[in-house]
Structure 1
Amino acid sequence: MKSHHAHHAPASASSTTLDKLPVRTLATIQGIRPGAHDGGALRRRLMELGFVPGEKVQVLRRIFAGKGPLAVRVGTSTFAMRKLESSLIEVIPA
């Protein structure tokens, strides 16, 4: 009898999204998911800012006990990001 399990495993067992990455953990960007209803505009914008596959990224701190924006470093730049944006960035912790 065949199994009919749907496989929804991430590309790597250790991959997560930037919004779930522990503070100060260095990670490598694996990819960026397109936003829900923006035709890929947010994804393109993030890539223009340097959030590209293979780049190192780190959450520097969470503001308002994790309910506010994240302070994120990618390359030599630091950004404040909303959860919406950071949840689209797939990373692999180092």
Structure 2
Amino acid sequence: MRLNELKLGGSAIIDHVEDHTAGDPVAERLRALGFVPGEPIRIVAVGPIGADPIAVGIGFTRFALRRAEAARVLLRDAA
């Protein structure tokens, strides 16, 4: 599952961030911000028009991502 498919209030574990090209700057930035394998993540809010952007929580930090950016983050079930 991808982060942009997770529903409001949903939780999961980050599996990895997908690179679109070698040295992908968006993927590198997401990893630098803490989108790393094994981190729990949850959807805390969505934008009013088209549910864009998505507000996600990792630990005590919140980030707003466009749906296209969130689609790069692959998840596994929180078990």
TM range (shorter): 0.7 to 0.9
Moved over 4 A (4+): none
The unaligned stretches of length 5 or more in structure 2 are none
Instruction: Report sequence identity in percent.
Output: 31
Choose between structure 1 and 2: higher helix proportion.
2
Would you say the 8 A contact 1:57–1:72 is kept in 2?
Answer: yes
Superposition TM-score, scaled by structure 1 size:
0.75
Gaps of 5+ in 1: 1-15
RMSD: 1.6
| 1:70 partner amino acid | I
1: CA distance, partners of 2:10 / 2:77: 7
Distance (whole Å) between structure 2 residues aligned to residue 27 and residue 66 of structure 1: 22
Aligned to 1:30: 15
User: What is aligned with 1:12?
Assistant: none
**Does the CA-based 8 Å contact 1:25-1:93 persist in structure 2?**
no
**Larger Rg: 1 or 2?**
1
Aligned residues: 78
Alignment partners' CA distance in 1, 2:49 and 2:56:
15
TM-score by length of 2: 0.87
